[in-house]
Amino acid sequence: MVSIYILIALVNFAEGLMSIFVPIYFWKLGFPIWKILSFYFLVSLFFVIITFLLLPLLRRLSDKLMMFFSAPFLVFYYVGLSVLPEIPTLFYVLPAVGALAALLFNVGYHIDFSGSSSDGYIGREVGFGSTVGALAQFAAPVVGGFLIAIFGFADNFFIGSGILVLAMIPLFFFPGRKSSSDLRGSLLCKFLFDKNLLPFTLSGVGYSVETSVARVMWPLFIFLAIGGVEEFGGIISIGLLGGALATYLTGVVSDQGKRRKVLAWCAGIFSAFWIARPFFISSFAVVANHVGGNIFNSSLMVTYTSQYYKIARSFRVPVLFILSREVLYNATRVLVLPIFMYIAYAFSQNTFFTASFIIAAIFTLFYFFANRFHISAL
């Protein structure tokens, strides 16, 4: 597990330098919000298509090779973003590259973590991994904001890409786990529409929608409320630090049989934070809401992810469940993001953000469905 924790730390730091700033980068280039959302729509659309096209290849790759092969595509994605003003057609190419990188890394990582974690300690291992990632990442946004203010977005993307390459070094220090020859489209769809998994599938729909708002709309809202890249990076860093302090303790509590209570309380409170966000206009109020929301969201993610890995480990072929969840998240975004795009195009900016945060609040409550699922039903 030590190698995977080092990998988490390096990848999270690199992503913290870059990914949170991508919506801001598009905004600074003059893209309207609806077009920014269209980029993420294309990422999810390509993800679903590429997944089914590459199933024969995925059957042959180990978790280790998946993560290793994701690196050049991630680097190409961020370097491509840096030259987007000179090559505008990359706007339609990079989503496919980003989708392929996400597919390879996410599936490989989840296969490795589900296979490495220990029964009875999954909660604290997820919590510790999340804490390591958050602590490694918490300084990255403020550093990224500082680098962007001095050198610009392009140089920041180059620096982050270099760190992503270094992040692959720990892969040489743990054994690979094979995927499965059973990885087929028909079985993947069976997992997506399995009646026994329906409650957890509905919670996955909620996760998909809520995280889309959290990763695109909320950062844009913070930036527009604060007005500066450096200040924006500092606020994101403070929120990550607050979340890091909550994650490990939540993991321990989850292993003590209180996961369902923690999930219910955190989902309800985090939904309330979303409801309040359209009315938090002052800089101090935005910061307070972001930090408080991140604490409860981090705790929520530990409990939810712990259940995710317990379910994955209960199947003979964990990769089928893991890949079905990735397809579920992106297929949901393919359906939902056009709605957000229409609201952004047809209504005022204030109306768009208000509607987005209310929708996020509603879908956050979908996490409650996870508490209605029991592994004994499988």
Give strand pairing partners of 178: 62
Phi and psi at 270, nearest 5°, equal -65, -35
Q: How many Cβ atoms are within 10 Å of 334's Cβ, its own excluded?
A: 18
What local confidence, expressed as pLDDT, does residue 234 receive? 80
Q: Distance (Å, rounded) from C-alpha 369 to C-alpha 378?
A: 16
- Domain range for 198 is 2-377
Beta-strand ranges (E) seen in 199-329 are none
Total domain count for the chain?
1
Residues, the chain: 378
The proportion of the chain whose per-residue pLDDT surpasses 70, expressed as a percent, equals 85
**Quick one: how far is CA 196 from the chain centroid?**
25
Helices and strands per DSSP (H, E), number in the chain? 17, 0
The radius of gyration computed from the CA coordinates of the chain, to the nearest angstrom, equals 19
Q: Distance (Å, rounded) from C-alpha 72 to C-alpha 62?
A: 17
What's the CATH code of the domain at 53?
Answer: 1.20.1250.20
One DSSP character per residue, 13-66 reads HHHHHHGGGHHHHHHHTT--HHHHHHHHHHHHHHHHHHHHHTHHHHTT-BHHHH
134 touches 241 (CB < 8 A): yes
Helix, strand, coil percentages for the chain (3-state, nearest 5): 85, 0, 15
Question: What is the pTM for the complete model shown?
Answer: 0.89
Q: Give the tens place of pLDDT for each residue, 289-334.
A: 988 898 888 888 888 888 888 888 888 878 889 999 999 999 999 9
What local confidence, expressed as pLDDT, does residue 280 receive? 76
What local confidence, expressed as pLDDT, does residue 92 receive? 96
Q: Distance (Å, rounded) from C-alpha 233 to C-alpha 218?
A: 13
Task: Tell me the CA distances in angstroms from 112 to 49, 120, 309, 322, 338, one per residue in order.
Answer: 24, 17, 11, 11, 34
Q: Record the tokens describing residue 207, joined without a space.
A: 């996760």
363 touches 340 (CB < 8 A): no
What local confidence, expressed as pLDDT, does residue 250 receive? 66
Q: Record the tokens describing residue 13, joined without a space.
A: 């730091």
- Going 112 to 93 to 169 to 55, the CA torsion angle's sign is positive
Phi and psi at 54, nearest 5°, equal -100, 10
Task: Tell me the CA distances in angstroms from 346 to 216, 243, 265, 278, 350, one per residue in order.
Answer: 18, 35, 36, 18, 12
What local confidence, expressed as pLDDT, does residue 27 receive? 94
Divide the 378 residues of the chain into consecutive groups of 10 and give the mean pLDDT of each group: 70 81 93 97 97 89 85 92 94 96 89 63 56 66 80 83 82 66 81 91 96 94 84 78 67 64 91 91 83 87 86 84 94 98 96 96 95 70
The residues, any chain, with a CB within 8 Å of residue 325's CB and separated by 6 or more, are: 204, 308
Say how many Å lie between the first and final Cα of the chain, rounded: 28
Q: Record the tokens describing residue 80, joined without a space.
A: 């491509």
One DSSP character per residue, 162-178 reads HHHHHHTGGGGGS---B
**Which letter, b or e, does each residue of 195-217 get, where b requires 16 or more Cβ atoms within 10 Å of its Cβ?**
eebebbbbbbbbbbbbbbbbebb
Task: Tell me the CA distances in angstroms from 255 to 132, 185, 251, 306, 311, one per residue in order.
Answer: 18, 34, 6, 9, 15
Phi and psi at 233, nearest 5°, equal -60, -40
Q: Give the tens place of pLDDT for each residue, 22-75.
A: 999 999 999 999 999 999 999 999 999 999 999 988 888 888 888 888 989 999
Q: Distance (Å, rounded) from C-alpha 141 to C-alpha 271?
A: 25
How does DSSP classify residue 88? T
Q: How many Cβ atoms are within 10 Å of 25's Cβ, its own excluded?
A: 21
What local confidence, expressed as pLDDT, does residue 132 receive? 63
